[in-house]
């Protein structure tokens, strides 16, 4: 079969090109959407996991301090009178460089202990909020600006709340890690999008070209017969043969009638 | 014989579809793989740092004891202390303190019981004399630390970290990525179907239309200026146009010519014989194949269901956020009322579907449903009070009901005989795929944009979908073309007549109601409640439910093919009903993850068997009713009845849970479904089509 014999003309080439562009654009939209959904999901998951692991690490430190304080309270000491708390929170702070400050707040909202000593005072409304939130579970957390505030209730041996332990964690480092991860991710998305669309466009181009060639060859074989210029090398496929037979039959009937008119 | 044929065009069309799908799927899969690797590299140091922190915390406790000059030999209840120390840290398997000098050991309770701790590891812990480095035993990494001096002997602290825990966390991430990937692929498939349909399917269809038409002796009128981009189609158009022109010229010349009697008679005879055999410049509408027509509706239906399903994951929470209209209103009732009103409105609207399609045609009916759905969704987003929300939800439900019934009528009436199940599968497939994608995407969007923002996006997408419908759905829809035989079709009188049929009425509780009760009562209500009760997280519940949707999505086209091939509607409906019962029973008997997953997969298979068979069984099972009142009437009546099942489902299941508890309630539901399946078998036996043998023919006469 002489495929090259059926070359499309210029306008057909433009139509074919537009069709390739149309499908490639559709694929690009699908890829942008799919990669976008995957990225949003993955970034969200990364952020959540990072926060979760960080909170759980803060939790290890918080529960350690809480145990120390509550052991003292169990011995009958007053929270304000416990002497080992200041050392405990100072030591705990030294275990993670991202811990900005640790506070132990009394029942009235007064700051009893803090590390470092230079840590700013807590606002009364913030303390009130921590107290309310800490009642909800063993370790609650709130994001306040660049800080992640993790807090837990301190209880005496009768399970009465006597204060709140607050750990202020510098969440800016988490944000930086998230931004770094997002940048790497974005680069990856661009590469995959470009590669995917490129491969898809090449596939579309090749397959549509072949599709059009088959179409052109079939058209050529049809025209050869219709124009009574039958060439055996362009023998039509079975599907077209039935069309041609019927077409020929109709044309012959019309020609027969035309001959009557011509003969008048 | 030339090897080239029209099949080559079909082959390239298929290849294009397959290649594009492979490229998109390959890209997304590789992207997901890379994402997982990025995750592992980014998160591993955090997990390891936590393990070290736990170890340091325990060590610090011992340091305090050392500062107070305690002797480790005097420490009582050390096991309890170690237990407390590792409590709340699921990745830590054990904490053990050993004194190598006298081979004594104090361990957390987990150490004795945990199957992950091998005998080799136990021997290693006892034999270890110095804290040199961490060592792996299976999936457990033993981190050894020297404790501060506590008495005369040195003590070692062993903390076991489960390496698999990190993998478990990553597995969750992988599952989420897989779900997102699945959603993306489903959406890709829908778009690809549409793109290939618009570019190549229609082109092939035009060629086949011309060939079939001329083979039947019909030379359709070819409109100028509407030429195809395909050379073959243009060639066919040209050939047909040429014959049409010559015939027209022949008629004109014949009329104008001054012929004597004999040639006139001869010409008339010849033209008469031509007219007998052929039709020229036929005004007959191009018979666009049913496959193309049906496929054309898939994308708009998918987008519409996708939009409405976006609110599924957060709707109860969204409703719960509104202040109750009456003081003391039960919160669960507050959440359930809009859902019940949704089902009720749909039930009331559905009967008007066939009449609407008859009067307006499919395109306008779809638009008549989509516009109120978009407005209702938009107004729900801006609702300021509970009652306002309920009213707008009802408007949305009315639109949803119209679109739903129009869609199902469109595909069933456009289908060629023998392909009705596959056509129904197009509708069900679009609905299920949209259910999977909408639910997953709704959660993501709600997290990012909030509830109102997500509803706004949903309304905007429905509005865009209206434009798509106006562009791609033909105004002369198949339903309209085939309609008009029964003037009563869709009227209340025709519904009443169908309801007089004992066969139809018996069919309702046996086949139409159970799938809906199972869907709304068991899957959407009981499953989340029971799984939450088993302390599964929201994400885990979502994953279990996804198993159902994925199974349903995968099995529906397969079931449709089997149905169309073997015409075994009754058997598949029966098997589907029994499987649903089995799935519910399996759910009630075991709480193992594998059993729960199997239950969801079975339920998906059962539901795909019943829902696909239910739509396509109508013309087979209710031949007389369809002939008398129209297939549209019977179909829409069945849809109405199904809605009753949707309303009853949660109420019945709530009653079962209240009376018998979760497990027993599920078991009773499963047994009831199995019993209903048995009754359905009896029903099919009684109403089976009878073959007239000479003896019973005589008897009937």
pLDDT in tens, B551-584: 887 888 788 878 777 778 888 889 999 999 999 9
Judgement on whether residues A121 and A203 belong to the same structural domain of the protein: no
Long-range contacts of B367-370, Cβ-Cβ distance < 8 Å, separation of 24 or more: B367/B466, B367/B469, B367/B470, B368/B402, B369/B398, B369/B399, B369/B400, B369/B401, B369/B402, B369/B403, B369/B404, B369/B406, B370/B304, B370/B399, B370/B403, B370/B462, B370/B465, B370/B466, B370/B469
* Minimum Cα–Cα distance from B4: chain A residue: A237
Q: Does A32 map to a domain?
A: no
Q: Does B546 map to a domain?
A: yes
At residue A253, the pLDDT reads: 85
Judgement on whether residues B450 and B552 belong to the same structural domain of the protein: no
Confidence of residue B415 (pLDDT cuts 50, 70, 90): low
Place of tokens 């035009």: B206
Among B433, B462, B484, identify where a domain stops. Answer: B484
Judgement on whether residues A253 and A194 belong to the same structural domain of the protein: yes
Q: What's B493-506 look like in SS3?
A: HHHHHHHCCHHHHH
Judgement on whether residues A173 and A216 belong to the same structural domain of the protein: no
CA atoms within 13 A on the CB side of A106: 10
| B57 with A61: Cβ contact below 8 A | yes
Judgement on whether residues A165 and A100 belong to the same structural domain of the protein: yes
Residue A145 sits in which domain range? 39-178
The C-alpha of B188 sits at a distance from chain A's nearest C-alpha, in angstroms, of 6
Nearest to B16 among A49, A57, A204 (CB): A204
Question: Across residues B261-279, what is the average pLDDT?
Answer: 81
Judgement on whether residues A147 and A209 belong to the same structural domain of the protein: no
Judgement on whether residues A90 and A174 belong to the same structural domain of the protein: yes
| Spatial separation of the C-alpha atoms in residues B156 and B146, rounded to whole Å | 5
Q: Does B109 map to a domain?
A: yes
Looking up residue A92, the CATH number of its domain turns out to be 3.30.450.20
Instruction: Say yes or no to pLDDT of B169 above 90.
Output: no
Instruction: Say yes or no to pLDDT of A170 above 60.
Output: yes
Q: Does B695 map to a domain?
A: no
* Minimum Cα–Cα distance from A188: chain B residue: B31
Say if residues B645 and B512 touch (Cβ distance below 8 Å): yes
Among A178, A193, A210, identify where a domain stops. Answer: A178
Judgement on whether residues B478 and B602 belong to the same structural domain of the protein: no
- With beta carbons under 8 A apart, name residues in chain B contacting A250: 217, 219, 243, 247, 274, 277-278, 280
Residue B129 sits in which domain range? 47-169
| Spatial separation of the C-alpha atoms in residues B51 and B44, rounded to whole Å | 11
Among B118, B148, B169, identify where a domain stops. Answer: B169
Which 189-208 residues of chain A touch chain B by CB within 8 A?
A: 189, 192, 195-196, 199-200, 203-204, 207-208
Judgement on whether residues A46 and A173 belong to the same structural domain of the protein: yes
| Spatial separation of the C-alpha atoms in residues B357 and B361, rounded to whole Å | 5
Judgement on whether residues B500 and B474 belong to the same structural domain of the protein: no
Nearest to B266 among A138, A217, A260 (CB): A260
Express each pLDDT in B350-407 by its tens digit.
778 778 887 888 888 889 999 999 999 999 999 888 889 899 999 999 999 899 888 8
The order of strands in the sheet holding B135-137 is: B104-107, B92-99, B156-162, B140-146, B135-137
Structure token pair of residue B57: 């915390």
Instruction: Say yes or no to pLDDT of B603 above 70.
Output: yes
Instruction: Say what the ipTM of the complex is.
Output: 0.78
Among A178, A211, A235, identify where a domain stops. Answer: A178
Q: Is the bond preceding residue A121 a cis peptide, omega within 30 degrees?
A: no
Say if residues B177 and B43 touch (Cβ distance below 8 Å): no
Judgement on whether residues A144 and A229 belong to the same structural domain of the protein: no
Find the helix or strand (DSSP H, E) in which B617 lies.
Answer: helix B593-621
Judgement on whether residues B498 and B433 belong to the same structural domain of the protein: no
Q: Does A255 map to a domain?
A: yes
Judgement on whether residues A65 and A156 belong to the same structural domain of the protein: yes
At residue B462, the pLDDT reads: 93
| Spatial separation of the C-alpha atoms in residues B252 and B272, rounded to whole Å | 15
Say if residues B114 and B94 touch (Cβ distance below 8 Å): yes
Looking up residue B402, the CATH number of its domain turns out to be 1.20.1250.20
| Spatial separation of the C-alpha atoms in residues B293 and B481, rounded to whole Å | 13
Judgement on whether residues A141 and A248 belong to the same structural domain of the protein: no
Judgement on whether residues A104 and A122 belong to the same structural domain of the protein: yes
pTM for the whole structure: 0.67
* Dihedral of the alpha carbons of B613, B619, B621, B625, in degrees to the nearest 10: 140
Q: Does A120 map to a domain?
A: yes
Judgement on whether residues A53 and A119 belong to the same structural domain of the protein: yes
The C-alpha of A10 sits at a distance from chain B's nearest C-alpha, in angstroms, of 13
Integer-rounded Cα radius of gyration of chain B: 34
Confidence of residue B430 (pLDDT cuts 50, 70, 90): confident
Could you tell me whether strands B135-137 and B218-220 are parallel, antiparallel, or unpaired per DSSP bridges? unpaired
Could you tell me whether strands B279-282 and B218-220 are parallel, antiparallel, or unpaired per DSSP bridges? parallel
At residue B132, the pLDDT reads: 66
Among A178, A210, A235, identify where a domain stops. Answer: A178
Question: Across residues A96-104, what is the average pLDDT?
Answer: 87
| A210 with B12: Cβ contact below 8 A | yes
Say if residues A239 and B211 touch (Cβ distance below 8 Å): yes
Domain count, chain A: 2
Domain count, chain B: 3
Q: Does B184 map to a domain?
A: no
Beta carbons within 8 Å of B280's beta carbon, 6+ residues apart: A250, B219, B243, B244, B247, B248
Q: Does A225 map to a domain?
A: yes
Judgement on whether residues B617 and B650 belong to the same structural domain of the protein: yes
Instruction: Say yes or no to pLDDT of B194 above 90.
Output: no
Could you tell me whether strands B104-107 and B92-99 are parallel, antiparallel, or unpaired per DSSP bridges? antiparallel
Instruction: Say yes or no to pLDDT of A194 above 90.
Output: yes
């Amino acid at each position: 079969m002489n495929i090259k014999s059926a070359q499309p003309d210029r306008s057909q080439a433009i139509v074919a090109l537009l069709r390739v562009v149309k499908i490639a654009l559709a694929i690009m939209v699908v890829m942008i959407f799919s990669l976008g959904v995957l990225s949003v999901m993955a970034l969200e998951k990364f952020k959540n996991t990072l926060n979760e692991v960080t909170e759980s690490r803060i939790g290890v430190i918080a529960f350690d301090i809480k145990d120390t304080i509550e052991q003292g309270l169990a011995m009958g000491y007053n929270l304000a009178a416990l002497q080992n708390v200041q050392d405990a929170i100072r030591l705990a702070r030294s275990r993670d460089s991202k811990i900005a400050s640790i506070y132990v707040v009394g029942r009235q909202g007064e700051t009893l202990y803090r590390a470092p000593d230079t840590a700013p005072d807590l606002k009364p409304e913030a303390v009130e909020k921590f107290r309310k939130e800490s009642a909800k579970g063993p370790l609650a957390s709130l994001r306040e600006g660049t800080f992640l505030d993790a807090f837990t209730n301190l209880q005496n041996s009768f399970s009465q709340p006597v204060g709140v332990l607050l750990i202020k964690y510098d969440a800016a480092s988490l944000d930086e890690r998230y931004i770094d991860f997002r940048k790497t991710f974005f680069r990856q998305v661009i590469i995959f999008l470009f590669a995917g669309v490129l491969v898809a466009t090449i596939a579309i181009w090749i397959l549509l070209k072949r599709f059009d060639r088959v179409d052109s060859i079939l058209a050529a074989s049809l025209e050869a017969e219709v124009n009574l210029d039958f060439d055996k090398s362009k023998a039509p496929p079975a599907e077209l043969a039935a069309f041609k037979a019927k077409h020929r039959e109709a044309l012959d009937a019309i020609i027969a009638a035309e001959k009557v008119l011509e003969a008048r | 014989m030339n090897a080239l044929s029209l099949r080559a065009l079909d082959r390239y069309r298929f290849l294009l579809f397959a290649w594009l799908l492979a490229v998109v799927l390959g890209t997304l899969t590789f992207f997901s793989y890379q994402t997982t690797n990025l995750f592992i590299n980014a998160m591993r140091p955090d997990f390891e740092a936590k393990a070290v922190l736990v170890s340091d915390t325990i060590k610090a406790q011992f340091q305090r004891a050392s500062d107070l000059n305690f002797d480790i030999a005097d420490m009582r209840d050390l096991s309890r202390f170690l237990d407390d120390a590792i409590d709340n840290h699921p990745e830590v398997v054990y904490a053990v303190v050993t004194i190598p000098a006298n081979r004594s050991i104090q361990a957390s309770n987990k150490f004795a019981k945990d199957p992950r701790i091998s005998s080799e590891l136990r021997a290693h812990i006892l034999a270890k004399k110095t804290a040199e480095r961490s060592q792996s035993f299976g999936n457990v990494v033993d981190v050894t630390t020297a404790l501060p001096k506590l008495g005369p002997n040195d003590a070692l602290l062993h903390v076991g970290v489960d390496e698999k825990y990190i993998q478990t966390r990553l597995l969750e991430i992988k599952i989420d990525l897989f779900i997102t990937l699945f959603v993306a692929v489903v959406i890709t498939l829908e778009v690809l179907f549409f793109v290939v349909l618009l570019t190549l399917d229609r082109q092939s269809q035009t060629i086949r239309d011309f060939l079939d038409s001329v083979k039947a002796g019909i030379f359709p009128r070819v409109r100028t200026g509407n030429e195809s981009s395909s050379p073959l189609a243009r060639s066919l158009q040209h050939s047909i146009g040429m014959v049409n022109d010559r015939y027209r010229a022949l008629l004109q010349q014949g009329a104008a010519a001054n012929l004597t009697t004999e040639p006139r008679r001869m010409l008339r005879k010849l033209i008469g014989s031509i007219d007998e055999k052929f039709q020229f410049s036929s005004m007959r509408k191009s018979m666009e194949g049913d496959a193309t027509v049906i496929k054309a509706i898939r994308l708009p239906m998918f987008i519409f269901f996708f939009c409405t399903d976006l609110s599924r994951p957060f709707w109860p929470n969204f409703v719960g956020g509104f202040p109750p209209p009456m003081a003391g209103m039960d919160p669960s009732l507050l959440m359930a009322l809009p859902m019940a009103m949704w089902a009720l409105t749909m039930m009331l609207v559905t009967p008007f579907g066939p009449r609407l399609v008859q009067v307006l045609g499919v395109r306008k009916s779809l638009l008549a449903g989509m516009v109120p759905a978009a407005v209702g969704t938009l107004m729900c987003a801006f609702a300021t009070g509970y009652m306002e929300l309920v009213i707008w939800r009802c408007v949305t439900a009315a639109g949803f009901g119209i679109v739903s019934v129009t869609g199902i009528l469109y595909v069933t009436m456009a289908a060629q005989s023998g392909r009705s199940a596959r056509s129904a599968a197009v509708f069900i497939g679009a609905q299920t795929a949209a259910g999977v994608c909408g639910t997953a995407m709704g959660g993501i969007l709600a997290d990012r944009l909030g509830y109102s923002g997500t509803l706004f996006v949903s309304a905007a997408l429905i509005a865009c979908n209206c434009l798509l419908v106006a562009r791609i759905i033909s105004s002369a829809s198949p339903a309209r073309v085939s309609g008009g035989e029964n003037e009563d079709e869709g009227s209340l009188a025709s519904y009443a007549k169908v309801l007089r049929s004992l066969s139809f009425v018996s069919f309702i509780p046996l086949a139409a109601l159970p799938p809906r009760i199972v869907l709304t009562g068991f899957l959407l209500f009981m499953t989340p409640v029971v799984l939450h009760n088993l302390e599964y997280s929201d994400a885990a519940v979502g994953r279990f439910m996804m198993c159902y949707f994925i199974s349903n999505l995968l099995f529906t086209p397969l079931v449709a093919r089997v149905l169309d091939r073997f015409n075994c509607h009754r058997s598949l409906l029966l098997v589907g009903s029994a499987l649903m019962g089995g799935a519910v029973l399996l759910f009630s008997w075991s709480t193992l993850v594998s059993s729960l997953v199997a239950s969801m997969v079975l339920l998906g298979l059962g539901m795909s068997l019943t829902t696909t068979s239910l739509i396509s069984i109508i013309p087979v099972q209710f031949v007389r009713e369809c002939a008398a009142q129209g297939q549209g009437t019977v179909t829409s009546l069945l849809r109405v009845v199904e809605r009753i099942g949707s309303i009853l489902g949660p109420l019945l299941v709530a009653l079962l849970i209240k009376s018998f508890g979760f497990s027993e309630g599920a078991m009773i539901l499963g047994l009831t479904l199995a019993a209903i399946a048995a009754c359905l078998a009896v029903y099919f036996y009684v109403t089976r089509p009878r073959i007239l043998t000479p003896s019973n023919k005589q008897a009937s006469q």
